[in-house]
Each structure stands twice: as C-alpha cells, then as structure tokens.
Amino acid sequence: MWLCWPLLVLWSVNSVIDYDIANRFVNLAYDRSLLESALDIGRQVKVLNERIYVDLPEIAVQMLQSRESGRLYYLVTGPDNEYITGEPDLPPPPDPFSGRVNYYDDGYHGKPVRVVALHLPLETGKSNSLVMVQVAENRAAREEFARQILLRMILPQALLIIVAGIMLWYAVGRGLAPLRALRLEIESRSHRDLSALPEEQTPQEVRPLIRALNELLERLSLALAAQQRFIADAAHQLRTPIAGLKTQTELALRQTPPGEAQTTLRQLRSATEQATRLVNQLLSLARAEPPAGRIEATLRFDLHDLAREATTEWVPRAIERNVDLGFDDRSQHAGVEGDPFLLREMLNNLLDNAIRYTQSGGQVTVCVRSVEGRPVLTIEDNGPGIPEAERTRVFERFYRVLGTGAEGVGLGLAIVSEIAQTHGADVTLTRGTAGIGTIVTVSFPAPEQRVTLARDRTDLN
Amino acid sequence: MRILIVEDDPVLADGLTRSLRHADYAVDCVNKGDEADHVLAAQSYDLVILDVGLPGLDGFEVLRRLRRRGGAVPVLVLTARDALPDRVRGLDLGADDYMVKPFDLPELEARVRALIRRGQSGGASLLTHGALVLDTAGRRATLGGEPLDLSARELGVLEVLMMRSGRVVNKEQLAEQLYGWDEEVGANAIEVYVHRLRRKLEPAGVSIRTIRGLGYLLEKGPTA
C-alpha cells in the first residue's frame, strides 16, 4: 500500500513533464505551418502603381479557411499601418515588436488563438516600407493534438508503473515472508516459552537480529531461573527456623496453664501455621512457574484417582473445621497427561481454599467428569462465594477477597492458575448450583490434543 | 528406648529433644553429619531422627553409611526439601519415614511411636481407641473392659478402621482386608458390616463417620 502513493506522485510529475514536452513540439510544428501560410500570403503581396494589394485567388482563400486543422484568419497591413486585406479586427502584435517573425497568443472572437506576425519588405524602391502579414489560428486543434500525444505517452507509462508495482509488491512480500513467519512464531508463544527462535529458513539479513533476540531470551531465562532458585532457596531456608518455632511453641503450650500466656502462645502457633503455608505456597509457585513450569515428568494417569486421593487426605482437616467434604458418586474416570506431583499441588490448594473459606457446617464436593472428551474437575462449596467483580482478581498473587476473615496469603489460586496453564487447562469460577457458594472448574484438554501439545513443547525445548 | 537426633538447627534440636524426653525417651543430640556417623558406628539406638541438610556429611550420606554397615535401626528423615526426587532418594537409601519441615509436633511424636513399635519384634497386637481395645492376635474386642460381640467380618472392618484411626478408609481397602485379592465383593456388603458395627459401638460414644464418596473414618475419641 505504502508503495502506491510515491508511484502515483511520480506518475503525476512525469505526466506534467510529458505534457510540457508534447506542447512544445506540437507548437513548433503548428507554428511552422502557420509561418508557411503567412509566407504564402506574403508572396502574393504585390505593388501596382504605388498601391499595395494582395493577389489571393479565391481558391487559396477557401483553402485557408477550410483547413483540416481549423480555419485560418489573416490580415495584411501596409507600412503606415493601413488596412489592405483580411480580417481587420485581428489582435495586433504586442509591443515592442522585434525581429522579422513574431509568434504570440491572444484571443479572437472569444477563443484563444495563436498568431504569427511577419514583416515583409516591399519592392517599391522606398525605404522602410514594410508590410505586415498576420495569420491567426484557433489553439483548439493544437491543444487537441497535444492531448492525444500526452495520452499516448502516459497510458503505457501507467501500465508500466502498475506492472512494476505489482512485481515489487510480490517481491517484497516474498522477501518478508520469513519475517512474517517469525512474527507469527513469537505471537503464538506462551509467556513461559523462552526457548531460542529458529535461525534457519530466515534470510541472511535477519539472522543477526534473531541471534540478538535469542541471546536476550537466554539471558532472560537465566535471570528467571536464578530468581526462582532464589525464591526456592529462601523458602527452603525458612523452613527449618519455622519448624523450630513451631516445635517450641507447641512444647510451651503443653507446659503453660490456661491463661493469658496460653492465649499468646495460641496466637503464636496460628501465626506459625500461616508462615508455614506461605513458605509452602512460595515453593509451589516457584516450581509451577516458567521456565521450571515445563512439565518435567509427563505421565498419563487417572484424574479421578488423583482427585479422590487428594480429597481423602483433606478429610481430617475438613472434620476439624466441621466442613462436610465429599467426593461426588457420579464421578467418572478420565485420563490426563501431565505432572501428577504438580496437579496434586493444584488440588491441595483448591481443597485448602474451599475448606478454609466455607463456614462451619458447610459442604465441599469434588467431582471428576469427562465432558466431550475433556477431563473436567470441579470443586463446589456452599460458602460465601466470590463476587463476580473479584473472580479474575483472585488469581493474582497475594490478592485476598476482603471481609472473608479467614487467614491466608492469597497465593493459592495463583498457583492453581500457573499449574493449570502448564497443563493447557482452563480454570473458571462460577456461582454454585443453588445460587450460593462457588464452583471451581478445571477443564483439561482432551487427551489426544494434550499429546500434540506435549510434542510441540518438546520440539520447542 | 534411646533416640538419636541429628539436627544442626539449635532451636529445633532443643524442641525435639525436650519433647521426646517428656515422653520418657533417652535422647542424644548431635549437630554435625560426621559426628552422627561416628556416634552411630559406636552406639546402638532404637530410632534415629535425621536431618538432611547438615554440616560435615549430609544426611543422605550418613544414612547410606549406616545401612552399609548393616545398621537396621529405624530412621525418620527430616528435610526442608519436599521435591519428589529427594523423597524417593531418601526412601531408596533406606529411610523408614520422611517428614517435611515444618511439621506438627503431635504428628512427629505419633510417627516416632509407630517406628519404635515397628522396630520392636512384631509390633503390638493391641489396638486401642479410647475405651475400645482390639486384640489383633486374639481376634477379640473389648469396650471398657466388657467383651464386644462381633462377627469375624465386623472384627476385620473394625481392625482396619482402628489401624487408620482419624483417617479415611475406602471401601476397596475394606474389601481387600475382608476377602483377599481375588474375590469380588459388593460395596453393599461393606455397608451392611459398617452399619452393624456402628450400632454396636455408638452407645459407647465411638462413632464411624461416613465420608461422602470416599469411605469411612473412625472418629478420634476424646482420649485418642
């Protein structure tokens, strides 16, 4: 597209120049023939008995008046500017009059005319006896002729420009195709894929750019890995002091009689629990994130069994909080490919959240189904529910729904969403079936889709 | 009963030592891997609680040397790492149990008891749950000293539930216990046994809770 405008401008400029050239040569040719006519008339100027007259036969006059290129008007005036013959109202030549032959443009009977004025010496013996012959012609004919020439010049040019434009467009398109492929490759990438871009099949000129990009990607992925290692190390390092704190608090609680000191110790214990949870979640997140987010151990296993096992493990905790945790009897077996360790981590976070945010006496139900070939996990609770406006925000790190009162650091759903993404699964939050509570739905890709996804992944790595 | 604690964090080591001494164990504590290796080569213990990240020798190496010398003492590994490969490695090297820091003290104490019991020949044949006592060798149960009239199948169900008291036991596990691997058993049969058992235990305040879609759980009594 951008090519059209300069070409159009170029073509216009060229046309103007062409028109000027055509005009000049047409003028030259027509002027010459105009001069011929003037000379013809001039030859017939005779002197008889001191009287000047023009001996124009009728046929010649008719010829002058019925030429193909338009009628000619003429006027012959004597040395003292006296009228001799022709059209008396032909416009006079402009002053100053110089030379023998003069061309000029003027108007006659309301039309533009080209006039030649010719000075002829008379053979009368007297000096300075010049006769002036003027011949005028409508400009219409020569303009028409110039236009025709112009048309014949610019049409092939236009054709040439169009053909050249198309060829250029095609060539540029072909040349840019690898760049377009590169763009698509980058656009289609997930944010966690920091592997090198393919260098082959790209034109020589682009390779340095790709190399530079690849180097940047590598540095970025090293930096990310270092950051994750740091988080993991920090979390690991925190675990031992927290274990000490927890053990000592527990011991102190056993030895302290009920009273204010014990209340303090209980608070301390609950703070320690929260620190424990935060550290564990930080580790989960570091594991689930890119670039470590690449599935390390891809296994095929039954989501039903995994979910049931995880649910079973959370029963004691649910009983502690007086929440009725159960596994839906209508659950179906559904094969999933991925990292069972990470998915277990995801289930733990979902169950922890559901139990944590459901009031005493509430219900949490886990279900695995196969919907149109896609394994789907749902965890439904009849707790307070999550307001619609907050449903996307709860997946952000350290975001907590205000007013829930439950302890928590707000990393649970961030971990869930990272792990789901790693497995190509979608997580959605909806209102519970009876209009209360929350349903978390994790929808996995159908197993055969999953297989190709895993293959793409290994190709890219 | 002698327990060796190998832990380099002084606060945690102190907490563990005191808690186990309260439970009347004789406790030694070292804070370096190579030291632990020497002590284990010279003395015998009923249980070792071993941290993985240690100065000197790391915990896995201490464990490897212990097992190479033929030491059969039960080992409970404590670690700050919970990644799967670490866990597998610990168990491969001959750890008997594995706990990730930070752990619950009561849970650790329970595992210590279980490991020591396992380390003794055969293990205890008496399971207790509050006032309920089950003699697994004699195949009989008493409630507050009074014999309970239970069929063999009911006794089998109760045994599984008591062994996993406070945790969920699913119907498949119960069926396995009752019928062996080959026999097909209906879930309905299990429900019938549980129902009968429940009726006999409920008057004494022992309740078997049904967990939707998962199985049964023997609820922890006030004294359990």
What tokens were used for A263? 């209340």
Residue A239 at interface with chain B, using a CB cutoff of 8 Å: yes
- Residues of B in Cβ contact (< 8 Å) with A325: 211-212
Question: Mean pLDDT across the stretch A216-241?
Answer: 86
Whether A246 sits inside 8 A of B209 (CB atoms) is no
In angstroms, the CA B147 to CA A60 distance is 155
- For the stretch A209-227, pLDDT in tens is 888 988 998 898 888 888 8
In angstroms, the CA A193 to CA B31 distance is 43
Check pLDDT > 70 for residue B49.
yes
Question: Mean pLDDT across the stretch B7-13?
Answer: 93
What pLDDT score was predicted for residue B16? Answer: 95
Whether A326 sits inside 8 A of B213 (CB atoms) is yes
- Residues of A in Cβ contact (< 8 Å) with B216: none
Whether A236 sits inside 8 A of B80 (CB atoms) is yes
* CB–CB contacts below 8 A, A to B: 101
- For the stretch A41-100, pLDDT in tens is 888 888 877 778 888 888 877 877 777 667 888 888 887 788 888 888 888 887 766 678
What tokens were used for A272? 């320690």
| Whether the predicted interface score ipTM is above 0.90 | no
Question: Mean pLDDT across the stretch A160-174?
Answer: 87
**A180, A203 contact by CB (below 8 A):** no
Distance from CA of B209 to the nearest CA of A (A): 10
Check pLDDT > 50 for residue A371.
yes
Top residue of B9, B22, B86, B168 to mutate, by most chain A CBs within 10 Å, is B168
Residue A284 at interface with chain B, using a CB cutoff of 8 Å: no
Distance from CA of A174 to the nearest CA of B (A): 50
What pLDDT score was predicted for residue A460? Answer: 40
Question: Mean pLDDT across the stretch A230-237?
Answer: 83
Helix axes A260-288, A412-422, angle to 10 degrees: 20
In angstroms, the CA A415 to CA A421 distance is 10
Whether A251 sits inside 8 A of B170 (CB atoms) is no
Check pLDDT > 70 for residue A404.
no
Residue A460 at interface with chain B, using a CB cutoff of 8 Å: no
| Closest among B128, B129, B91, B125 to B207, alpha carbons compared | B129
pLDDT band at B34 (very low <50, low <70, confident <90, very high): very high
Which of A240-244, A304-308, A444-448, A455-459 comes out lowest in average pLDDT?
Answer: A455-459
Average pLDDT for chain A: 83
Distance from CA of B18 to the nearest CA of A (A): 8
- Proportion of chain A above pLDDT 90, given as a percent: 17
Residue B213 at interface with chain A, using a CB cutoff of 8 Å: yes
What pLDDT score was predicted for residue A127? Answer: 57
pTM metric for this prediction: 0.60
- For the stretch A173-213, pLDDT in tens is 887 887 888 888 888 877 667 778 887 777 787 888 888 98
Whether B80 sits inside 8 A of A237 (CB atoms) is yes
In angstroms, the CA A429 to CA A375 distance is 17
In angstroms, the CA B224 to CA B222 distance is 6
From residue A274, how far is each of A284, A289, A303, B99, B109 by CA, in Å? Answer: 15, 22, 29, 19, 22
| Closest among B87, B49, B92, B86 to B67, alpha carbons compared | B92
Chain B residues 75-104 within an 8 A CB cutoff of chain A: 78, 80-84, 100-104
What pLDDT score was predicted for residue B224? Answer: 38
- For the stretch B124-175, pLDDT in tens is 567 778 788 888 777 888 888 888 888 888 888 888 888 887 788 888 888 8
Which of A187-201, A258-272, B96-110 comes out lowest in average pLDDT?
Answer: A187-201
- Residues of A in Cβ contact (< 8 Å) with B22: 251, 254
Q: Are strands A45-48 and A51-54 parallel, antiparallel or unpaired?
A: antiparallel
